Chain A
């Protein structure tokens, strides 16, 4: 390459680079100009929140900017941001990340009126967060590999030699931590530890719930411990008539049928607290719950709102007596997994 063309290459390159470097902050200015908007840190499914926010903006005229990420990473981000967090509202796929923020004193109390809109038992003890939708733990199984009648009533019986290489589990998923804490609360710490050790010895680790669900659907493994909605996602993706896996619910009051929730709270440092309160109230209103229910196979927590998905009726679930508030930030789950050699 001749040096003249190299010089022109460099000149053009620099012009282009300088242009983008200078142009970028201007773009940023345009974003930041609108100060009346709410900032929502969203760990819930993108589509669900998008539908909710569209309905909210239409009803109130308040604009919402969504920052997406995984729930726990966003919670960690808010913790690192401290009292300067730009977030007004945090909406998480599970309750422990929101409970962790509450523990660190980062959330403002919600109004009694808002808290009273959902089925009792699915809000924070101190009223700093509220459950928005619920789902339950279940076992998915491949119909070609195992009969539903063979599946035990208790999830504790699946961590045994009889199920060697036939149970997939996701020790790194949020809902698994919650289930583990539920077992600890119901049956004692030793039972929880033994269950984990059994799973480690006889089960197969997957790194994601959907990966485990796909493995069951493909016949790679007979069963997997996941949330009920993964089955519905799979059914939606491959078609309900073609799906090869089934959904099995645990027996009455068994930790295998634990109910967990998606949850939301308002930051103490929120700059738009009034608007934030309106958003929270809208989330559990009839209109808000209907907007959410249409996009994901979870139970709306407001009494009287029905999911369009063909879910097992909420009042027939018979879950164990452990509420999301009892689970807290599920911090002990890590200590348990460490003791079992799973972390």
Chain B
């Protein structure tokens, strides 16, 4: 297993190598000058405030939505349960375009936090809802019987059970925000990532961008460490599921109407506004109709890349996750954490790293699909890991021991026992990967075979020339193509512990 885990670790180390080479060029004094500039402090403040703001707001929304659909008698909650995951299908650059059109009020740090929290809260909502279903209401019964009120029961008996899911989802949002770029361009917020993109957009010297990338990765280290702490050394696997009863839904009574209204408002803000904007582009713009002949190739390109990228990334993530679940040594933990740290790198750095390395080491593969898929794996590995992890922890080591004792070889055990038990996690990972790859732009532009078109590259190409009406069908298709993986992801997340 350790051998199989070497591949993803080596892959993820590639951009680190590149950043190190480039940063080295600026020398020690260059490093010092760059890190202690006033501008660095300003960018640091913006980045941290944005990331934490989005994380906290997304966690609050996610937790509240999850509790309402899982633990209350909210009317239509079975429907809301799926609908609440849908904002994931809207790419952040579409929603930020929509909101920035509504006026200056949203074009600042506060507005960016609000808009990005609306589009990322499902990353918290889904794991928390899944955890709520798996939580044993017996703990709460005990707390109530000891005289705790409903609030104290929630805080002391239920919340600790949700903490790994809540923390994992929140930290995913946090590291996502460190690397966010597309949405911020229209919202007039400057962070390390926008500064790095700017360096590559205006300069022909990559040393200072490499230094800024190092700061971004340093920011990810505490996040990666915190996630590990939250999971702690607990072992969650159990061979028998016990006899936990289903939790009795809390009656909302008079509160039902305002809560329903809040759900409606959430849907309107997170889905209605961006979709209305797409409709407006189509209705108002005069560039409508351009590029229809590219729709077929773009869909084909998008689906082809997304499918192969999702399969490859999930395959690479499996050994990493199993390694860290089974072997809790330092090295295994470090190997599993490394992708989370590299996740803080903006797409442009990862893409240039692969340009630099692949053309020198294996020129025949340059601008072939292999290198592009490797870039996807480097960019999105942590998302696959966190989807797989919950399932992997539920595989009891005893199952494998029994299978081995019955004469199966280790690989047979892996295929016939471990993989099937992890299937829900694999389904979730594949869906989440597809969702991310479908909207990936920078690495696709630099590394895809020349002439490849995807929905995302077409949207970029038309919006760069301000032909919003021409971009609208591609953006709408992007949302449509994303709905299937979101639906699969939502179902996988919400069913695998029941």
**Could you tell me which A residues sit within 8 Å of B by CB distance?**
1, 3, 6-7, 9-10, 13, 16-17, 20-21, 24-25, 27-28, 31-32, 39, 45-47, 65-70, 72-73, 75-77, 79-82, 84-86, 97, 100, 104, 172, 174, 177, 205-208, 210-211, 213-214, 218, 220, 230, 233-234, 236-239, 329, 331, 333-334, 338, 341, 343
**Which A-B residue pairs are the 5 nearest by beta carbons?**
A17-B311, A6-B423, A100-B204, A6-B420, A20-B308
Please, which residues of chain A bring their CB within 8 A of the CB of B367?
Answer: 86
- Whether, in the assembled complex, B150 has its beta carbon less than 8 Å from a beta carbon of chain A, the answer is no
Please, which residues of chain B bring their CB within 8 A of the CB of A104?
Answer: 204
Contact assessment for B419 and A208 in the assembled complex, using a CB-CB cutoff below 8 Å: no
CA distance A3 to B423 in the complex (A): 9
Please, which residues of chain A bring their CB within 8 A of the CB of B307?
Answer: 16-17, 20
Contact assessment for B427 and A72 in the assembled complex, using a CB-CB cutoff below 8 Å: no
Contact assessment for A208 and B286 in the assembled complex, using a CB-CB cutoff below 8 Å: no
- Whether, in the assembled complex, B225 has its beta carbon less than 8 Å from a beta carbon of chain A, the answer is no
The chain B residue with its CB closest to the CB of A334 is B203
Please, which residues of chain B bring their CB within 8 A of the CB of A333?
Answer: 202
Please, which residues of chain B bring their CB within 8 A of the CB of A338?
Answer: 37, 39
From known contacts A20-B307, A46-B465, infer whether A73 and B198 are also in contact, taking CB-CB under 8 Å.
no
Instruction: Name the one of A1, A27, A172 contacting B201, with C-beta atoms under 8 angstroms.
Output: A172
Identify which of B71-79, B252-260, B443-451 touches chain A.
Answer: B443-451
Instruction: Name the one of A6, A46, A86, A343 contacting B198, with C-beta atoms under 8 angstroms.
Output: A343
CA distance A308 to B462 in the complex (A): 22
Instruction: Name the one of B198, B424, B466 contacting A237, with C-beta atoms under 8 angstroms.
Output: B466
Instruction: Name the one of A82, A207, A239 contacting B185, with C-beta atoms under 8 angstroms.
Output: A207
Contact assessment for A207 and B186 in the assembled complex, using a CB-CB cutoff below 8 Å: yes
Please, which residues of chain A bring their CB within 8 A of the CB of B363?
Answer: 84
Contact assessment for A24 and B446 in the assembled complex, using a CB-CB cutoff below 8 Å: no
Please, which residues of chain A bring their CB within 8 A of the CB of B469?
Answer: 237
Q: Can you name 26 A-B residue pairings with CB atoms under 8 Å?
A: A6-B420, A7-B420, A10-B419, A13-B311, A21-B308, A24-B304, A28-B369, A39-B450, A46-B465, A66-B451, A72-B201, A72-B203, A75-B204, A76-B200, A77-B352, A80-B355, A81-B366, A84-B363, A207-B187, A210-B463, A233-B465, A234-B466, A237-B286, A237-B287, A333-B202, A341-B38
CA distance A206 to B194 in the complex (A): 13
- Whether, in the assembled complex, B280 has its beta carbon less than 8 Å from a beta carbon of chain A, the answer is no
B359 to chain A, nearest CB (A): 5
Contact assessment for B430 and A68 in the assembled complex, using a CB-CB cutoff below 8 Å: no
- Whether, in the assembled complex, B340 has its beta carbon less than 8 Å from a beta carbon of chain A, the answer is no
Contact assessment for A25 and B370 in the assembled complex, using a CB-CB cutoff below 8 Å: yes
Please, which residues of chain B bring their CB within 8 A of the CB of A234?
Answer: 466
CA distance A14 to B416 in the complex (A): 14
- Whether, in the assembled complex, B244 has its beta carbon less than 8 Å from a beta carbon of chain A, the answer is no
Contact assessment for B368 and A3 in the assembled complex, using a CB-CB cutoff below 8 Å: no
Contact assessment for A208 and B186 in the assembled complex, using a CB-CB cutoff below 8 Å: yes
CA distance A333 to B286 in the complex (A): 36
Contact assessment for A77 and B446 in the assembled complex, using a CB-CB cutoff below 8 Å: yes
Please, which residues of chain A bring their CB within 8 A of the CB of B206?
Answer: 76, 80
Beyond contacts A72-B200, A84-B359, A233-B466: 8 other A-B pairs, Cβ-Cβ < 8 A, are A6-B420, A13-B430, A16-B311, A31-B449, A97-B204, A211-B100, A211-B185, A220-B104
Q: Which of A46, A237, A341 has the most CB of B within 10 A?
A: A237
- Whether, in the assembled complex, B60 has its beta carbon less than 8 Å from a beta carbon of chain A, the answer is no
Contact assessment for B352 and A47 in the assembled complex, using a CB-CB cutoff below 8 Å: no
Q: Which of B315, B352, B450 has the most CB of A within 10 A?
A: B450
Contact assessment for B312 and A73 in the assembled complex, using a CB-CB cutoff below 8 Å: no
Please, which residues of chain A bring their CB within 8 A of the CB of B100?
Answer: 211
Contact assessment for B464 and A70 in the assembled complex, using a CB-CB cutoff below 8 Å: yes
Please, which residues of chain A bring their CB within 8 A of the CB of B400?
Answer: none
Please, which residues of chain B bring their CB within 8 A of the CB of A341?
Answer: 38-39
CA distance A233 to B468 in the complex (A): 11
Contact assessment for B355 and A20 in the assembled complex, using a CB-CB cutoff below 8 Å: no
CA distance A16 to B203 in the complex (A): 42
- Whether, in the assembled complex, B290 has its beta carbon less than 8 Å from a beta carbon of chain A, the answer is yes
- Whether, in the assembled complex, B285 has its beta carbon less than 8 Å from a beta carbon of chain A, the answer is yes
- Whether, in the assembled complex, B426 has its beta carbon less than 8 Å from a beta carbon of chain A, the answer is yes
From known contacts A73-B201, A210-B466, infer whether A24 and B355 are also in contact, taking CB-CB under 8 Å.
no
Contact assessment for B420 and A10 in the assembled complex, using a CB-CB cutoff below 8 Å: yes
- Whether, in the assembled complex, B188 has its beta carbon less than 8 Å from a beta carbon of chain A, the answer is yes
Contact assessment for B201 and A70 in the assembled complex, using a CB-CB cutoff below 8 Å: yes
- Whether, in the assembled complex, B467 has its beta carbon less than 8 Å from a beta carbon of chain A, the answer is yes
- Whether, in the assembled complex, B457 has its beta carbon less than 8 Å from a beta carbon of chain A, the answer is yes
Interface residues of B in 434-477 (CB under 8 A from A): 445-446, 449-451, 457, 461-469
CA distance A205 to B185 in the complex (A): 11
- Whether, in the assembled complex, B27 has its beta carbon less than 8 Å from a beta carbon of chain A, the answer is no
Instruction: Name the one of B204, B359, B424 contacting A329, with C-beta atoms under 8 angstroms.
Output: B204
- Whether, in the assembled complex, B223 has its beta carbon less than 8 Å from a beta carbon of chain A, the answer is no
CA distance A21 to B304 in the complex (A): 9
B45 to chain A, nearest CB (A): 14
CA distance A218 to B107 in the complex (A): 14
A103 to chain B, nearest CB (A): 8
Instruction: Name the one of A21, A72, A218 contacting B202, with C-beta atoms under 8 angstroms.
Output: A72
- Whether, in the assembled complex, B348 has its beta carbon less than 8 Å from a beta carbon of chain A, the answer is yes
CA distance A20 to B430 in the complex (A): 14
Contact assessment for A24 and B451 in the assembled complex, using a CB-CB cutoff below 8 Å: no
Please, which residues of chain A bring their CB within 8 A of the CB of B188?
Answer: 205-207
Please, which residues of chain A bring their CB within 8 A of the CB of B462?
Answer: 46
CA distance A39 to B347 in the complex (A): 24
The chain A residue with its CB closest to the CB of B372 is A24
A143 to chain B, nearest CB (A): 19
Contact assessment for B203 and A331 in the assembled complex, using a CB-CB cutoff below 8 Å: yes
Please, which residues of chain B bring their CB within 8 A of the CB of A79?
Answer: 204
Can you list, as one digit per residue, whether each of B190-204 has a CB less than 8 Å from chain A (1) or not (0)?
Answer: 000011001011111
The chain B residue with its CB closest to the CB of A235 is B286
From known contacts A100-B204, A237-B468, infer whether A24 and B103 are also in contact, taking CB-CB under 8 Å.
no
Contact assessment for B465 and A45 in the assembled complex, using a CB-CB cutoff below 8 Å: yes
CA distance A207 to B184 in the complex (A): 9
CA distance A16 to B359 in the complex (A): 30
Contact assessment for A220 and B103 in the assembled complex, using a CB-CB cutoff below 8 Å: yes
- Whether, in the assembled complex, B154 has its beta carbon less than 8 Å from a beta carbon of chain A, the answer is no
Please, which residues of chain B bring their CB within 8 A of the CB of A329?
Answer: 204
Please, which residues of chain A bring their CB within 8 A of the CB of B457?
Answer: 68
A68 to chain B, nearest CB (A): 6
Please, which residues of chain B bring their CB within 8 A of the CB of A80?
Answer: 206, 352, 355-356, 359
From known contacts A174-B202, A220-B103, infer whether A68 and B355 are also in contact, taking CB-CB under 8 Å.
no
Contact assessment for B466 and A28 in the assembled complex, using a CB-CB cutoff below 8 Å: no
CA distance A20 to B465 in the complex (A): 33
A145 to chain B, nearest CB (A): 14
Please, which residues of chain B bring their CB within 8 A of the CB of A47?
Answer: 290, 465
CA distance A206 to B104 in the complex (A): 11
CA distance A230 to B465 in the complex (A): 9
Instruction: Name the one of B348, B420, B463 contacting A73, with C-beta atoms under 8 angstroms.
Output: B348
A199 to chain B, nearest CB (A): 15
The chain B residue with its CB closest to the CB of A236 is B286
Contact assessment for A25 and B368 in the assembled complex, using a CB-CB cutoff below 8 Å: yes
Please, which residues of chain B bring their CB within 8 A of the CB of A214?
Answer: 101, 466
Q: Which of A45, A80, A333 has the most CB of B within 10 A?
A: A80
The chain A residue with its CB closest to the CB of B195 is A343
Please, which residues of chain B bring their CB within 8 A of the CB of A85?
Answer: 359
